[in-house]
């Protein structure tokens, strides 16, 4: 039993790192524009299918699809941004409806081109297992974990040190005050959408290498990203990372100790418990920032 729990903890941490990448993209758009992009999970899914196309057509490692995934997600992310930016009244509600509709369109487009078959990598290198004691992990999971940590470190540096990173934080904190300081909110929001799309492309390719994908996965990924964002509270990168690991571990332990049918339910129960007992999130303060 101890070995099973240890294996579940390991698996939860590895998948949680990918959840963190997805959630950070959602948190960026929410912080900059005060909207929840309900099509974000579909962007991740689109990147995953780009990895499948490259591997199936060329036989290359799925990570070779990252340039194609970047182009696809950035183009679609840019289109979503310009659609949302045209909303002038009741932006929060209307953007939810709009992005939800875009997500449905993307899901059905993927279903049209790739059918409903389950896809996963066939790379023997990525599927090989590495063991440390009685704990096993695929090479793909370890690579995805490393990629996630590297991207989160780069994102942290960008937000803290670069001019546009500080501009995103400024617009997220106070849009009107940032305009007085010479920051263009429209351009900053667009940059935030592009960065979120870049994170989605890497997360999608990583997800394809370590799991299975199908058209229905997109909506589930959006829900997971939203749960992680709420759990994190403050919206800091370490907070999102810890919240994502918590969600991944909760799901892994549920599958190991109970049933895989309860995996999604466990995440929602965790979400409701935090909302009920800690409305500012696990790492929240009195005022939460996107």
Digit-coded pLDDT (tens) for 16-41: 999 999 999 998 888 777 788 999 99
Give CA–CA dist 191/197, Å, rounded: 10
The values of phi and psi at residue 272, to 5°, are -70, -40
**pLDDT for res 157:** 93
**pLDDT for res 111:** 93
Residue in 145, 121, 133, 120 with CA at minimum distance from that of residue 7: 133
Residue in 278, 89, 80 with CA at minimum distance from that of residue 190: 80
Residue numbers in the chain where pLDDT is lower than 50: 286-290
Give CA–CA dist 187/181, Å, rounded: 14
**pLDDT for res 32:** 72
**pLDDT for res 183:** 87
Report DSSP letters for the chain, one per residue: -HHHHHHHHHHHHHHHHHHHHHHHHHHHHHHHHS---TTHHHHHHHHHHHHHHHHHHH---GGGGHHHHHHHHHHHHHHHHHHHHT--SSHHHHHHHHHHHHHHHHHHHHHHHHTT--B----HHHH-EEEETTEEEEHHHHHHHHHHHHHHHHHHHHHHHSHHHHHHHHHHH-HHHHHHTT--HHHHHHHHHHHHHHHHHHHHHHHHHHS-B-TTHHHHHHHHHHHHHHHHSS--HHHHHHHHHHHHHHHHHHHHHT-GGGHHHHHHHHHHHHHHH-TT-TT--SS---
**pLDDT for res 286:** 44
Is the pTM higher than 0.85?
Answer: yes
Domain coordinates in residue numbering, the chain: 18-216
């Amino acid at each position: 039993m101890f070995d099973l729990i240890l294996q579940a903890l390991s698996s939860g941490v590895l998948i949680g790192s990918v959840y963190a990448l997805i959630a950070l993209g959602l948190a960026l758009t929410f912080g900059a524009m005060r909207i929840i992009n309900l099509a974000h999970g579909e962007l991740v899914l689109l990147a995953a299918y780009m990895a499948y196309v490259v591997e199936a057509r060329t036989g290359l490692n799925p990570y070779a699809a990252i340039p194609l995934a970047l182009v696809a997600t950035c183009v679609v992310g840019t289109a979503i941004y310009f659609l949302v930016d045209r909303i002038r009244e009741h932006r929060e509600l209307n953007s939810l409806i709009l992005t939800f509709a875009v997500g449905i369109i993307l899901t059905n487009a993927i279903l049209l081109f790739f059918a409903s078959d389950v896809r996963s990598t066939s790379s023997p290198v990525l599927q090989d297992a590495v063991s440390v004691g009685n704990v096993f992990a695929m090479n793909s999971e370890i690579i995805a974990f490393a990629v996630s940590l590297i991207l989160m470190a780069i994102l942290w540096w960008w937000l803290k040190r670069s001019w546009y990173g500080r501009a995103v934080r400024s617009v997220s904190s106070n849009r009107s005050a940032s305009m007085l300081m010479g920051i263009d909110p429209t351009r900053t929001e667009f940059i935030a959408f592009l960065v979120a799309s870049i994170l989605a492309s890497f997360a999608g390719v990583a997800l394809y290498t370590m799991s299975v994908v199908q058209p229905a996965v997109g909506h589930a990924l959006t829900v997971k990203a939203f749960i992680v964002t709420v759990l994190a509270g403050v919206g800091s990168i370490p907070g999102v990372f810890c919240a994502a690991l918590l969600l991944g571990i909760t799901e892994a332990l549920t599958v190991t100790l109970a049933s895989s049918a309860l995996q999604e339910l466990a995440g929602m129960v965790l979400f409701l418990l935090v909302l009920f007992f800690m409305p500012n999130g696990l790492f929240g303060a009195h005022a939460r920032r996107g």
